[in-house]
């Protein structure tokens, strides 16, 4: 199967799960009134960010060029802020900015590993910047990414440190996330190559544009 290669879930499978969850969340948030279906879709949708954060860490560990990785996130953060603003009309910013700040935090943790106090300061400042910029998930997102990195493959410690960070977005749902992440088999899966990778990025901006057009239609 393309979703499960060998035993467990491939990185591609996790990406598909995250993209579907995110889409359901945004459809509910922007296009639906509160209802049982709305609550269910939002609960499912909140499963997306922890998976994206986990995959960011895996990408950081395996990438050939962290600078190119960061540049890609920055470009798509800027592009995605256009449909984000059209839908929200406020001073918040899309999740790509959170992921970018999280990536910078990982770079700081690695480069300052001989000075723990400097590590803490750098991560704290990036989390503060995320909160001041009102990026999606704010400081929660930055700390979640850092803890995923620090406790990579040490699932008990990972759960111990990340649950307090992300619990306000749904404890039961996050347990589901951890179950999916534990099933990760370390394989890339069927989404390979630059075009496929950027296709995942483009999907974010694209689905936001489609939701905005649907929102406009519903206002008529």
pLDDT digits 0-9 by tens, 184-215: 998 988 877 766 778 888 999 999 999 999 99
- Segment 139-152 mean pLDDT: 96
- What would the pLDDT profile of 118-132 be if each residue is shown by its tens digit? 999 999 999 999 999
Burial class (CB in 10 A: 0-12, 13-18, 19+), 8: middle
- Segment 158-164 mean pLDDT: 90
What pLDDT is stored for residue 7 in this prediction? 78
The residue ranking higher by pLDDT, 196 or 35, is 35
199: part of which helix (H) or strand (E)?
helix 193-219
- Segment 18-34 mean pLDDT: 95
Within 10 Å of residue 211's Cβ, how many Cβ atoms? 19
Query: Where does the chain show beta strands of DSSP type E?
Result: none
CA proximity to 54, closest of 175, 122, 146, 140? 146
Residue 24 above 60 pLDDT? yes
Q: How confident is the model at residue 6 (pLDDT cuts 50, 70, 90)?
A: low
Q: Is the pTM of this model over 0.75?
A: yes
String of DSSP letters for 40-87: HHHHHHTTHHHHHHHHHHHHHHH-S-HHHHHHHHHHHHHHHHHHHHHH
């Amino acid at each position: 199967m393309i979703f499960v290669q060998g035993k467990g879930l491939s990185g591609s499978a996790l990406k598909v799960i995250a993209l579907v969850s995110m889409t359901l969340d945004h459809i509910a948030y922007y296009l639906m009134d509160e209802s049982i279906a709305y609550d269910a879709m939002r609960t499912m949708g909140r499963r997306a960010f922890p998976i994206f954060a986990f995959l960011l860490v895996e990408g950081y560990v395996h990438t050939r060029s962290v600078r190119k990785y960061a540049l890609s996130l920055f470009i798509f953060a800027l592009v995605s802020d256009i449909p984000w603003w059209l839908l929200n009309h406020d001073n918040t910013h899309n999740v790509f900015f959170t992921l970018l700040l999280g990536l910078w935090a990982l770079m700081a943790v690695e480069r300052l590993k001989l000075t723990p106090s400097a590590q803490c300061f750098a991560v704290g400042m990036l989390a503060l910047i995320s909160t001041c910029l009102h990026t999606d998930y704010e400081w929660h997102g930055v700390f979640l990414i850092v803890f995923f990195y620090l406790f990579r493959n040490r699932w008990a410690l990972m759960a111990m440190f990340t649950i307090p960070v992300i619990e306000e977005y749904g404890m039961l749902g996050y347990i589901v996330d951890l179950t999916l992440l534990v099933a990760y088999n370390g394989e890339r899966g069927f989404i390979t190559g630059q075009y496929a990778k950027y296709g995942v990025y483009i999907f974010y901006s694209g689905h936001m544009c489609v939701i905005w057009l649907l929102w406009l239609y519903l206002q008529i």
